[in-house]
Amino acid sequence: MLPESLKHWLAPANLTTRLVLLAVSVVALVIALAAAWTFWERADTARRFVRLATIDRMAATQLLVDRLPPSELGIALRAISGPLLLVRLLDEPRGRPTDDPRLDRHLARLMARHPSGVFLGREMVLRQVDREGPRDGGEGPPDLLPSFARYEVGIRQNDGTWLIFTVPADTLSRFWLGRAILIVLAVVGGAALIAWLLFRRITRPVTALAVASDRFAAGLPAEPLRESGPPEIRRATAAFNRMRQRIGELLAERNSMLAAIAHDLRTPLTRLHLRLEDLPDDQARSRAKNDVQAMETMLRETLAYAKDVAGVEQATDLDFAALVRTAVDDLSDAGREAQYEGPDRLVLRGRPTALRRAVDNLLANAVTYGTCAEVTLAADPRQVRMTIADRGPGIPLEMRERVFEPFFRLETSRSRSTGGTGLGLALARGIVRAHGGEVSLRDREGGGTLVEVTLAR
């Protein structure tokens, strides 16, 4: 299993980072393959440099040295020397043995097999030397050897001197490796910058779409999202704008319909109250009045549920800590066991009346079924966390989602004296979710239920 930190680095959550990482990885892989192939070719060429006509020039030079008088050798050798091949007569070979013994054997075989036979019976050495200063007081050819290190092939002459051929090493020295690394880093860095600018331009509309979706889910006012970016993202943005407009229209129609229903039902309910006064049977009249009151309560709570979840109320900056502390104090003043622990001030954006209704419902549920409500409030830069703990019998695991369904009650007597309409938890979750949060239930250690509420800041 990979460590979590490595997993996060290999698969970051940010889409732009993922796309940049993909682009840079492809560029780095291509560069690495190209560099590996190039360096392999250079190393192979270095091992076989004597095959690139160098042996023929060395043989011709040796024949010339054998035939010319010593007084003319200096001029002849300067004429033969060039930017990539320097020929001199020295008292002894210089430099150090090469790092690759195979190169020595390879050179010896090639020189022994040369058709002229000029190298037969001669002592030959191969040395590796560092770059030197100006040659012969500046009279020789310019030094154009392409690397700091070069090879010197020494052939012993009959008088004991050595004919020295200096040729480029053309191998992978530290200089070339360091320069190659810098080039790779520069190319990868440039590719990363270009990819970041490009992909950020592509993903910016996606980020804006996500932010607009969160604001819409929280019921916050927002202007229609500007359509920008690639055609696919512009189509998604246009679809989101149409969806938001249509949902807004549907919610407005639903609220209007519910308001109309509430208004129309109040009149017949009022008439029922008046007619119940004419019933001669006191017991029947009392039961009928209770039913009418239950209908009014259910109607009122249903309308409140529809209004609060739909987000009719305008959002504003509010002190959530003061709101929760006030709700706890109201319960304590009513003789219920409730306590608060948390900051004195905690500002977030939301709908005050709806949030107060959600907190009241959760607290009322705790003190009604769990005898107490111990509220803890905490926050970080991203979200607010509220827990409400009670000491009740708890809620079975299989029922912890069902209790959030409208009109569902664990208490099955349906009596208003032992429970409400079954909308309390449904209303609380709906309001919290409309604010970009969540409500969940779990067992409290030592017995009871722990309600966990998170709200986006």
Give the pLDDT score at 230: 73
pLDDT(332) > 60: yes
First to last CA, the chain: 35
382-402 pLDDT, tens digit each: 889 999 999 988 888 888 888
Give the integer Cα–Cα distance in Å for 29 and 36.
10
pLDDT(341) > 90: yes
Q: Vertex 33, ends 31 and 39: CA angle to 5°?
A: 95
Most confident of 1-15, 362-376, 395-409: 362-376
pLDDT band at 265 (very low <50, low <70, confident <90, very high): confident
Give the pLDDT score at 416: 47
pLDDT(273) > 70: yes
125-158 pLDDT, tens digit each: 888 887 665 554 444 445 545 455 678 889 999 8
Q: What is each CA distance from 417 to 301, 302, 368, 431, in whole angstroms?
A: 16, 19, 11, 25
169-205 pLDDT, tens digit each: 653 344 455 566 777 677 777 777 777 777 777 777 8
Give the pLDDT score at 172: 36
Q: Could you tell me which of 152, 140, 39, 38 has the C-alpha nearest to residue 95?
A: 152
Residue 134's CB: how many other CB atoms inside 10 A?
A: 10
Q: What is the DSSP letter of 397?
A: G
423-453 pLDDT, tens digit each: 788 888 888 888 888 999 999 988 899 999 9
Q: Which domains are assigned to the chain?
A: 4-47+175-205 (no CATH), 49-172 (no CATH), 218-312 (1.10.287.130), 313-456 (3.30.565.10)
For β-strands 124-129 and 383-389, DSSP reports them as: unpaired
Give the integer Cα–Cα distance in Å for 294 and 317.
36
209-240 pLDDT, tens digit each: 877 877 776 556 667 888 877 777 788 888 88
Q: Are 455 and 320 in contact (CB under 8 A)?
A: yes
Can you read off the two tokens belonging to residue 207?
Answer: 């980020």
Give the pLDDT score at 320: 95
Give the integer Cα–Cα distance in Å for 440 and 451.
6
Q: Which residues pair with 277 in a beta bridge?
A: none
pLDDT(159) > 80: yes
pLDDT, average across residues 335-352: 92
Q: Are 421 and 298 in contact (CB under 8 A)?
A: yes
For β-strands 449-456 and 162-168, DSSP reports them as: unpaired
Range scoring the smallest mean pLDDT among 57-71, 91-105, 257-271, 303-317: 303-317
String of DSSP letters for 208-251: HHHHHHHHHHTT---PPPP--SSHHHHHHHHHHHHHHHHHHHHH
What residues contact 87, with CB distance under 8 A and at least 6 apart?
61, 77, 80, 81, 163, 164, 165, 166
Give the pLDDT score at 25: 72
Give the integer Cα–Cα distance in Å for 238 and 455.
29
Can you read off the two tokens belonging to residue 60?
Answer: 């011709």
Here the contacts of 168-174 (C-beta below 8 Å, separation 24 or greater) are 168/49, 168/84, 169/46, 169/128, 170/42, 170/45, 170/46, 170/49, 170/146, 171/42, 171/43, 171/46, 171/147, 172/39, 172/42, 172/43, 172/46, 173/147, 173/148, 173/149
Q: Are 158 and 146 in contact (CB under 8 A)?
A: no
Task: Give pTM, 2 decimals.
Answer: 0.47
Give the pLDDT score at 71: 84
